[in-house]
Amino acid sequence: QKEVEQDPGPLSVPEGAIVSLNCTYSNSAFQYFMWYRQYSRKGPELLMYTYSSGNKEDGRFTAQVDKSSKYISLFIRDSQPSDSATYLCAMSPYYTGANSKLTFGKGITLSVRP
Protein backbone atom coordinates (compact mmCIF):
# COMPACT_ATOMS: atom_id res chain seq x y z
CA GLN A 1 0.00 0.00 0.00
CA LYS A 2 1.37 3.40 -0.97
CA GLU A 3 1.81 5.88 1.87
CA VAL A 4 -0.26 8.51 0.04
CA GLU A 5 -3.10 7.72 -2.34
CA GLN A 6 -4.71 10.32 -4.55
CA ASP A 7 -7.67 9.92 -6.91
CA PRO A 8 -6.01 9.49 -10.33
CA GLY A 9 -8.45 11.50 -12.44
CA PRO A 10 -8.48 13.25 -14.81
CA LEU A 11 -11.31 15.48 -13.69
CA SER A 12 -13.29 17.80 -15.96
CA VAL A 13 -15.82 20.29 -14.60
CA PRO A 14 -17.74 23.31 -15.97
CA GLU A 15 -16.70 26.80 -14.98
CA GLY A 16 -18.24 27.84 -11.66
CA ALA A 17 -18.41 24.30 -10.26
CA ILE A 18 -17.21 23.33 -6.79
CA VAL A 19 -14.28 20.94 -7.08
CA SER A 20 -13.33 18.41 -4.41
CA LEU A 21 -9.88 16.80 -4.52
CA ASN A 22 -8.96 14.10 -2.03
CA CYS A 23 -6.02 12.15 -0.65
CA THR A 24 -5.75 9.36 1.88
CA TYR A 25 -2.65 8.29 3.75
CA SER A 26 -1.51 5.38 5.84
CA ASN A 27 1.40 6.81 7.85
CA SER A 28 0.10 8.18 11.16
CA ALA A 29 3.38 10.08 11.60
CA PHE A 30 2.30 12.59 8.94
CA GLN A 31 1.48 15.87 10.65
CA TYR A 32 2.00 18.51 7.96
CA PHE A 33 -0.27 18.59 4.93
CA MET A 34 0.12 20.60 1.76
CA TRP A 35 -1.57 21.10 -1.58
CA TYR A 36 0.44 22.11 -4.60
CA ARG A 37 -0.75 23.24 -8.03
CA GLN A 38 1.42 22.48 -11.02
CA TYR A 39 0.84 23.97 -14.45
CA SER A 40 2.25 22.20 -17.48
CA ARG A 41 6.03 22.49 -17.74
CA LYS A 42 6.27 24.44 -14.47
CA GLY A 43 7.32 23.62 -10.91
CA PRO A 44 4.72 22.91 -8.20
CA GLU A 45 3.28 26.01 -6.52
CA LEU A 46 2.38 25.82 -2.82
CA LEU A 47 -1.35 26.52 -2.43
CA MET A 48 -2.19 25.47 1.11
CA TYR A 49 -0.12 24.43 4.14
CA THR A 50 -1.81 23.03 7.23
CA TYR A 51 -0.71 21.39 10.44
CA SER A 52 -3.78 20.59 12.48
CA SER A 53 -7.05 18.85 11.78
CA GLY A 54 -9.90 21.04 10.62
CA ASN A 55 -10.43 23.55 7.83
CA LYS A 56 -8.22 26.31 6.46
CA GLU A 57 -9.59 28.79 3.96
CA ASP A 58 -7.75 31.02 1.51
CA GLY A 59 -9.93 32.81 -1.00
CA ARG A 60 -11.68 30.23 -3.16
CA PHE A 61 -9.63 27.39 -1.70
CA THR A 62 -10.39 25.40 1.46
CA ALA A 63 -8.12 22.68 2.80
CA GLN A 64 -9.62 20.10 5.12
CA VAL A 65 -7.70 17.63 7.27
CA ASP A 66 -9.21 14.69 9.15
CA LYS A 67 -6.38 12.95 10.98
CA SER A 68 -8.66 10.38 12.57
CA SER A 69 -9.67 9.13 9.11
CA LYS A 70 -6.26 9.90 7.54
CA TYR A 71 -8.00 11.90 4.86
CA ILE A 72 -7.36 15.33 3.40
CA SER A 73 -9.31 17.37 0.88
CA LEU A 74 -8.98 20.52 -1.17
CA PHE A 75 -12.15 22.34 -2.21
CA ILE A 76 -12.15 24.93 -4.97
CA ARG A 77 -15.21 27.17 -5.13
CA ASP A 78 -16.35 28.99 -8.27
CA SER A 79 -13.76 27.16 -10.36
CA GLN A 80 -12.18 29.09 -13.23
CA PRO A 81 -10.46 27.93 -16.44
CA SER A 82 -7.22 29.27 -14.92
CA ASP A 83 -7.57 26.57 -12.22
CA SER A 84 -6.87 23.95 -14.89
CA ALA A 85 -3.69 22.27 -13.68
CA THR A 86 -2.41 19.20 -11.86
CA TYR A 87 -3.04 19.22 -8.11
CA LEU A 88 -0.71 17.31 -5.80
CA CYS A 89 -1.18 16.56 -2.14
CA ALA A 90 1.96 16.28 -0.02
CA MET A 91 2.66 15.31 3.58
CA SER A 92 5.52 15.15 6.01
CA PRO A 93 6.12 13.81 9.52
CA TYR A 94 6.67 15.97 12.58
CA TYR A 95 9.88 14.78 14.08
CA THR A 96 12.88 17.02 13.75
CA GLY A 97 15.26 16.12 10.99
CA ALA A 98 12.73 14.22 8.95
CA ASN A 99 9.98 16.70 8.34
CA SER A 100 11.77 18.06 5.32
CA LYS A 101 10.92 14.94 3.34
CA LEU A 102 7.63 15.48 1.55
CA THR A 103 5.72 12.43 0.36
CA PHE A 104 3.48 13.25 -2.59
CA GLY A 105 0.36 11.79 -4.10
CA LYS A 106 0.55 11.05 -7.83
CA GLY A 107 -1.49 14.15 -8.67
CA ILE A 108 -4.83 14.70 -10.37
CA THR A 109 -5.26 16.74 -13.53
CA LEU A 110 -8.18 19.15 -13.39
CA SER A 111 -9.72 20.76 -16.44
CA VAL A 112 -12.27 23.57 -16.01
CA ARG A 113 -14.38 24.06 -19.13
CA PRO A 114 -15.49 27.63 -19.99
Partner 1 sequence: KAGVTQTPRYLIKTRGQQVTLSCSPISGHRSVSWYQQTPGQGLQFLFEYFSETQRNKGNFPGRFSGRQFSNSRSEMNVSTLELGDSALYLCASSLGPGQGASEQYFGPGTRLTVT
| Interface with partner 1 (CB under 8 A) | 32, 34, 36, 41-46, 49, 51, 88, 90, 92, 96-107
How deeply is 65 buried, as exposed, middle or buried, from its count of CB atoms within 10 A (0-12, 13-18, 19+)? buried
The CA distance from 33 to 96, in Å, is: 16
Residues 6+ apart with CB under 8 A from 96: none
Q: Which is nearer to partner 1, 1 or 41 (CB)?
A: 41
CB of 46 to partner 1, least distance (A): 6
Q: Which is nearer to partner 1, 79 or 107 (CB)?
A: 107
CB of 14 to partner 1, least distance (A): 27
